[in-house]
Structure 1
């Protein structure tokens, strides 16, 4: 199972999304994250960070978090394995 945190964040410009990206980029305990200005969404794949830690980090940027949730999904094994190299 892969855990992700999905937030609906009010971002009106590239500066807004950049602020959120910079904050998450400095945060430890994240496997990856994606900030999408057009969709007004932030998706975080945590390594060790909790939902509350990520929520607080985004909140400190001053951006309004309209909603957020923790999701669990199964990763397809065929996508998780590295590609085989045939010589």
Structure 2
């Protein structure tokens, strides 16, 4: 499980994150909008997950394993 910080300000931002992660496939994720965190359970590498989250156009950083 990995945790990422994503600069999400609204439900639309969270939807964009969910959309790109669903397209990637093979991921289970939880979006915590108030704390701007996304927890992802996946076999993909951190680099792949970061690249995917970056497609939203939001500022993304890797917090660490959870």
TM-score, length-scaled by structure 2 = 0.88
The CA RMSD measured in Å over matched residues stands at 1.3
Structure 1 or 2, whichever has the larger Rg, is 1
| Contact kept? 1:28, 1:49, Cα under 8 Å | no
What CA distance in whole angstroms lies between the structure 1 residues aligned with 2:33 and 2:59?
Answer: 13
Residues 29-56 of structure 1: per-residue CA shift (max 9 Å, x gap)? 32x101111110000001x211100000
Q: Which runs of 5+ in 1 are unaligned?
A: 73-87
Q: Which runs of 5+ in 2 are unaligned?
A: none
| Contact kept? 2:5, 2:63, Cα under 8 Å | no
Higher relative helix content: 2
